[in-house]
Amino acid sequence: MLRRVSIEETWEVAKNIKAFRLSEKLEFTPGQFIMLWLPGVEEKPFSLADKNLIMVKKVGRFTNELFKLKEGDYVWIRGPYGHGFSGKGKSVALIAGGIGIPPIYALAKYGNFKRSILIYGARTKEEIALPKDIESYVDEVIITTDDGSYGIKGFPTDVLMERRSEFDYVYACGPEIMLAKILEIMEFENVEVSAERFMKCGVGVCGSCALGPYLVCRDGPVFSGKQLINTEFGKYSRTPDGRIKPL
């Protein structure tokens, strides 16, 4: 059901990335998403970072308009939708790249793990989009940057390869090329990733978010490694009009 909520708070997290705290707290499983509608603009999906928190990167017309809104302004939402993370494992790696941090942050906060290590990657220091309180929810934070301007120079997958033996389960969200490499490292076992495809309806009706035999909005966005074996994941996605788009 579509409902109107107000923006209680908004702040800049990193370059071109803002957080929006909404007036309605939602019961959700980390990994689920909401559909957010701006009248006269469009409707887009956003993973929940918390019960009333989303983090948004400015990338196009919709997000440009969203960034103009201030505290007290209204947006319309529906959801949460989809399947979230299972929460399996005792010693886990939580891996995020870029704006893939929201569902991983939520899992860090609400997951019941004996030990968790966050491995986060950004292109450069100014694009690191970590919530300030993340260290309260994990045992260790490792940051990588592509250019070496902060933390380890390299990628989250480099860290996973080096420390693979420490984890009995891996959760990840971020660029699909990174996620595909994580699946390869884990040999598709004991791993879940949050996939992204173009969504229109969010409830499995329109079929625009097809991924192999699945619809990302209905069957995902979180998938186990085994589900993604022999699919196009990591190879190509589709444009809004259905054409194949190589990654």
Q: What is the CATH number of the domain that holds 70?
A: 2.40.30.10
pLDDT single digits (tens) 149-176: 999 999 999 999 999 999 999 999 999 9
Q: What's the CA gap between 57 and 36, in Å, rounded? A: 14
* Amino acid 101: pLDDT: 98
239 plus 165 within the same structural domain: yes
Q: Are residues 55 and 152 in the same domain?
A: no
Provide the domain count of the chain. Answer: 2
CA distance 66 to 158: 35
- Kindly state whether residues 56 and 120 are assigned to the same domain: no
- 86 domain-assigned: no
* pLDDT greater than 90 at residue 41: yes
Q: Kindly state whether residues 143 and 225 are assigned to the same domain.
A: yes
Cβ–Cβ < 8 Å for 94, 230 = no
For residues 157 and 65, membership in a common domain is answered with: no
Question: 170 and 67: one domain?
Answer: no
pLDDT tens digits for 56-77? 999 999 999 999 999 999 999 9
97 in the same domain as 28: no
Let me know whether 49 and 109 are in one domain. Answer: no
Residues contacting residue 24 through CB under 8 Å, at least 6 positions apart: 3, 5, 52, 77
* Shared domain check, 137 and 234: yes
